[in-house]
Structure 1
Amino acid sequence: MPKALPEEFRRDVVALARKGEAPVSQIAKDFGISPSCLRRWLKLADIEDGNRSGASQNESDELREARKRVRQLEQENEVLRRAAAYFARDNQPKMMYPLVLDLAVDGIPVTVTCRVLGFSKQAFYKWRKNPVTQRDFDNAFLINAARDIHADDPAFGYRFIADELTDQGHKVSENRVARLCSQERIWSIHAKKRGLNRKAGPPVHDDHVKKVFTAPSPNLVWLTDITEHATAEGKLYLCAVKDVYSNRIVGYSIGSRMKASLAVTALRNAIALRTPAAGLIVHSDRGSQFRSTKYVRVLKAHSLRGSMGRVGACGDNAAMESFFALLQKNVLDRQRWTSRQELRLAIVSWIETSYHRRRRQRRLNKLTPIEFEMIQPAAHAA
């Protein structure tokens, strides 16, 4: 069964076909797909845009989401009903964790119950794993009281909350309140914003490449990085993934913001197209996007090995920088770009047609990346 191409790639090909600068058959050939496939993509795009009758993907998604929301509301209503009965048994304070277990037996997901009752899943599972101590009981009671105080005035930080708890008759230290508020993310709305340190952080991976940008076969070493370019609408960012064996761009993502999701999408697109074996090395710099939890989670999920160069050492990812230099010379600096969409289509067209299928490289025996990958396996077999 052929592999499903990334949605981002499909949108870009459809946009180029709609421009009408070349026949559909030629565009399909340039991008390595069949004409019938491209015509089907155009038909689906027309349905999505309302230019043709038929059930759009958005309508199907909305119906599915509506049914999901109805089911969630029914579950949340059941949680509130059972919680009201649970706390109405007497006037003594109770831990809400046992109620989660009771509702789970009746088919209410733990996630739903925790969200409705206002505490985290992690706290519940921690309680279930360990016996409930008196201090756990007291902490839960203090957290509920702190939440009530904070709800009355969101400007209250842990110091004001500690003062209010003392006035209510609780014997609790300010440090304990600070720890509980931090644990439950009960912060003043005037607190300083976190995560604004722009310095390069520590590497989450060792350097497994050591400036050796060659590989004996495909899908052994990939390089990745992010570049940006200005347009009249603002900056456009490209994250690309390159196979050092053939210099082919095996995955990319383009967006208007340089977030971790940009690097994650590019990596997932490369994995979907190439299906690499476990142990493949993915080398990058120390940018925050490549040190993010989401990015590292994707690497671990597919048993890939992360690799990072030094801070400020462009040579540690020189092969990727050389590709961006070609892109800069052949596309980015050719003209002033009025819109992000215009530049996006130009980048996609250059990568998929010129760079992959027309630009011969001396390191590849004067073959294009596509030709090199098609011919070299046969040469190895001979």
Structure 2
Amino acid sequence: MSGKRKRYDEEFKKNAVKLSYASVKTIREIASDLDVGEAVLYRWRQKYGPDGNKTRYATLEEENRALQLENAELKMERDMLKKQRPLLCEKPKVIYGFIENHPEYSAAKWVKFMNISRSGYCAWKKRKDDKEKKEKTYADKIKKIFDESNGTYGPDRVCGELRKRGFTASYKRVRSIMENLGLRSIHCQRRQRSLTDSRKARGDDYENLVKDLEITGPFQVLSSDISYIRTTEGFEYLCQVKDVVSGIVLAHKMSDRMKEELVAETVKLAVRRHRLPEDCIFHSDRGSQFTSDMVKTLLNSIKIRQSFSRVGKPGDNAWSESFFANLKKEAVHWRTFRTRLEARDAIFAYIEGFYNSQRIQKRLGYMSPAGWLKHHLHLSSLSVA
């Protein structure tokens, strides 16, 4: 037997009632013959008479139902009137928003009650949904770029990357979306311990060749410095040599000891990997590793001039200072390196896998150092040809 409730039309009900009055059978027998409930047949007899016409009871029942419906409509209109009273002089967009925020009544009832265009509301709703969909897609792009930067990009760099990928980008809009998504760059302030010991390098022999120098092209000036990376096995010391104009890190070396050999090995690696022109300038602070005879002799042998920051002026070597600040904020802070090897792997991944090849810079037209250098060398080769 099917669990579905049977439905009977008015004609069937009238005929069933007329049969119940005309037949000599009992109500129970007729109900059984018609396959309906006995109570159902009695209910039909209340609504219809022996001739099939509606009884007074049926008329009163319909009137009562109509009155209930009318009362419900009046109550609804009263409630709607209370809610929409402040909107009498508002613009359609405000009214449309009100309708959407009050789903207790259907939109069809609201537009009819407020005497506004239903098609206008539907068109507004479609535009709103389309706009929200576009906003969601745009926010997903921003989050993807942020995640690809390992959480290092702020709104400025995200804007640049969006423009590179062919999208329009407003700093204000991107910043607002990032705030709403809780995307915040991991850059933070952290006091660093200075590693520079310049007590033996305070004479006039340590000239600053880059002060007031106009730096116009790559490999004209190189900047170098040493910083430390904390691990549970002790400090690891990182030496890097970078090109000032392109910002690319030409070479880096790490060691558990901060000796002049660390600087010398890093310079040798930079020379092997890149064709450094003669008379380019190698700039550093006055740390004992850089003022050592070993480093001086090496630089003289490859015809690279050595330059030093002034005493107490770390800003003279801001190129390396800035690099280490970014590296610490983006790859070191908030991490604990259990071994020296783990730290070395992380630093290599950051410099070679991200900083040189992917990390865009505003001053380079939102290009990576490697990308900018390749573009510059290509343009230079075309101009020579």
Q: TM-score, normalised by structure 1?
A: 0.46
Larger-gyration structure (1/2):
2
